[in-house]
Amino acid sequence: MCGFVCCVNLKENLNSKKDVLISMNETLKKRGPDECGYYISDHALLGHRRLVVIDPDGGKQPMTFNYNGNKYVIAYNGQIYNTKELKENLKQNNILLEGYCDTEVLLKSYILYKEEVVHKLNGIFAFAIWDENNQSLFLARDHFGVKPLFYTIFNNTLVFASEVKALLKYPGIEPILDEQGISELFGIGPAHTNGITAFKNIYELKPANYMVYNKSGIHIKRYWKLKSKPHEDSFEQTCDKVQYLLEDAIKSQLASDVPLCTFLSGGLDSSIITLYAADHCKDNNLPTLDTYSVDYIDNDKNFQKTDFQPNSDNYYINLMQAKLNTNHHTVMLDTPELAKALEDAMIARDFPGMADVDSSLLLFCKNVKPEATVTLTGECADEIFGGYPWFFREDALNSGTFPWSIAINERQTLLRPEISKKINLKEYIDYRYNESLDNVEILDTDSKETAEKRKISHLTLNWFMQTLLDRSDRMGMYNGFEIRVPFCDYRLAEYVWNIPWEIKALNGREKGLLRYIMKDKLPDEIVDRKKSPYPKTWNPTYLKAVKQMLSKIMEDKNAPINNLLNRDYIMQILETEGKAFTRPWFGQLMTGPQLMAYLCQVNMWLEKYQPKIEI
């Protein structure tokens, strides 16, 4: 896991931009704290920051390989899980390997397959390969966009990087916030529309897309998507196939030359990951698996049961630790550090995010990093298998909008009145919502319920899951810490996509099929446990802390947040401790304290990035 920056100009010499490249690359030091490297040529500059996970000596980047008189250079961020298979293919084609890292395997696989290489890969990746002789660049991003890749074009130079902050170091590239950007931030945020950012003319390469840049211009192509087709397997065959794909995904992601662990919350998803990981350690005579969970000081005293968070984690964590005999560690976070880390979490994302849902994960990773560098988590199981409340609640299914973000009127009111007159958030949200639904392929053979759930699954996979994947990558990599997500294996997602809803939600339960498959492998309490989201703090001192932070911001009438948002409404939110905003800002957890924390992040972002506002 790493970060990289590149600049390509096919008409002008870039040698004078070396210092710019170094400055851009330095912004990614947290993503790759172990090594840095550069490739400099007349028309292409590549910089890389490395987090060492596999083959410390043989995986240095940018990596160059000369083949048949041509020079190829790669800068890469990710992990290829089917490296063994690719190595065999290279061997059969008489292409030898000098080391055992996946970077070399990826580069040489590209040389063998060219653009078709994306169809050979199973992993999480964003990479750039420069073909020196042909003056051509190839960029690609993994199936679900676990690894980021942003780009822009400035003065005929294609500039791209793992994070937006690196692009902004290139002279002349400015952060500009226009109507679309404001609509993204306050209508869609903290989610975002695939392919764009809140900044004008700064884009992301969409998941499952690749780009070729050569003398004929930029060519972008989608290489993969979920395809709807009839599910013809029997129930027994379905169970066997899901179990095989899941186990294979988990075990293939356990490769590491540095300490590896799992995050264990005691929920179904993390318990499945930990079960297979612990068994793998035992079967291969590896050290006992380390597991980690996060909690908050005084949470046990202040926990409040809700429909969305019905129980706390500790009992279930202890149950799984006892069953698997892992080395378990609990990271305890306190209110002051949770609030203080809001700014770091914003910087990690380059945009306002999920408030303390972000900052807590950032601190969690920071605390685990001294003892491990890689973790596996249960992220994405709810999206793949149908685990969220909105898959079942009629009010959410009939909302006519993104069911995790239904506070549209409140979002509109939050805009400064002069801006609110120019920007209609509902129109923008409706456009993105309907645009997304137009891409759902419904089969004539689908039952009414399966067709309905295909739509909500498509929205969840392409919007909500993307937000959580962004969160995992940015909060982890800000600490030089790699988070892997086995449930996001594209083969598993492909198969489960076409399983009829009546089977997927077996016995009327969220993730019913997954529960059934695991019923003889996990304790009944874990299998039957109702979904509980990522733990948040219930300590009332957190509300007090973010209220004080926001109050201090609002005491300054020149605070930049006043240039965008409705000061009077924010004061109402403060006075009512968030109750003036009657629905969660996003998802299930971003209620009163989290909304105030988000508003603090907005002001921090405006101060830090100082975007030029064009409306």
Cβ neighbors of 462 (< 8 A, separation 6 or more) are 194, 436
DSSP state, 610?
-
Q: Using an 8 Å Cβ cutoff, are 261 and 368 in contact?
A: yes
| CATH number assigned to the domain comprising residue 191 | 3.60.20.10
* 3-class DSSP assignment, residue 385: helix
DSSP string for residues in 195-252: TB-SSTT-EEPPTTEEEEEETTEEEEEE----------S-HHHHHHHHHHHHHHHHHH
Neighbours of 319 (CB within 10 A): 17
Residues 6+ apart with CB under 8 A from 420: 412, 413, 566
Compute the distance between CA of residue 98 and CA of residue 90 in angstroms, rounded to an integer. 12
Residues 409 and 499 in one domain: yes
Distance (Å, whole) CA 261 – CA 290? 5
Q: Is residue 325 assigned to a domain?
A: yes
Alpha-carbon distances, residue 581 vs 48, 346, 445, 574 (angstroms):
44, 22, 43, 10
Q: Are residues 241 and 218 in the same domain?
A: no
From start to end of 101-195, where are the E strands?
A: 123-131, 136-141, 150-154, 157-161, 176-178
Query: Are residues 22 and 129 both part of a single domain?
Result: yes
Residue 144 backbone dihedrals phi, psi, to 5 degrees = -110, 5
Cα radius of gyration (the chain)? 24
Last residue of a domain, one of 505, 528, 551: 528
CATH at residue 517: 3.40.50.620
Q: Do 445 and 377 fall into the same domain?
A: yes
Same domain, 135 and 274: no
Q: How far is CA 547 from the centre of its chain?
A: 28
* Backbone CA torsion sign across 544, 546, 551, 556: positive
Are 247 and 199 part of one and the same domain? no
> Ramachandran region of residue 480, left (φ > 0), alpha (ψ -120 to 50) or beta?
left
Query: Does one domain contain both 244 and 384?
Result: yes
Is 242 in contact with 487 (CB distance < 8 Å)?
A: no
| One-letter amino acid of 329 | H
Residue 46 lies in a domain: yes
Q: Of 2, 7, 380, 488, which residue is the catalytic one?
A: 2
Q: Is there a single domain that holds both residue 146 and residue 257?
A: no
| Residue ending a domain, choose from 183, 200, 222 | 222
How many domains would you assign to the chain? 2
Same domain, 121 and 262: no
Residues 218 and 239 both lie in one domain: no
Residue 179 domain flag: yes
Q: Does 377 reside within a domain? A: yes
Q: Which residues contact 306 (CB under 8 A, 6 or more apart)?
A: none
User: How many angstroms separate the CA atoms of 462 and 181, rounded?
Assistant: 19
Task: Going from the first residue of the chain to its last (615 residues), give the mean pLDDT of each consecutive group of 10, the final group possibly shorter.
Answer: 94 94 97 96 97 85 95 97 96 92 97 98 98 97 98 97 98 98 97 97 98 97 97 98 98 91 97 97 94 88 58 87 96 94 98 95 98 96 95 88 93 96 98 96 94 96 97 98 97 98 96 97 95 74 93 96 96 88 80 90 98 95
511-530 burial, b at 16+ Cβ within 10 Å, e below that, comes to: bbbbbbbbeeebbeebbebe
Tokens 């993730």 correspond to what residue? 511
Distance of CA 55 to CAs 51, 59, 147, 255, 256, Å? 11, 6, 20, 11, 9
Residue at 523 is within a domain = yes
Query: At which of 484, 511, 528 does a domain end?
Result: 528
d(CA 519, CA 28): 44
Give residue 218's identity as a one-letter amino acid code. Answer: I
Give the integer Cα–Cα distance in Å for 518 and 527. Answer: 7
Contact 191, 402 (CB under 8 A): yes
Question: Would you give the distance in Å from CA 361 to the centre of its chain?
Answer: 12
> Does one domain contain both 427 and 452?
yes
pTM of structure: 0.95
Task: Tell me whether residue 380 is one of the annotated catalytic residues.
Answer: no
Separation of alpha carbons 424 and 550, rounded Å: 26
Mark out the alpha helices in 74-200 (DSSP H runs): 83-92, 102-113, 164-167, 179-183
In a domain, 354, yes or no: no
**Do residues 50 and 184 both lie within one domain?**
yes
42 within some domain: yes
Range of the domain at 188: 2-222
Domain membership flag for residue 7: yes
Identify the CA nearest to 488 among candidates 380, 376, 374: 380
Q: Which pLDDT score, from 0 to 100, does residue 128 have? A: 98
Residue 79's contacts (CB-CB under 8 Å, 6 or more residues apart) are 1, 53, 54, 102, 123, 124, 125, 253, 255, 482, 484
Cα dihedral 420, 422, 425, 426 in deg (nearest 10): 110
Identify the pLDDT of residue 56. Answer: 81
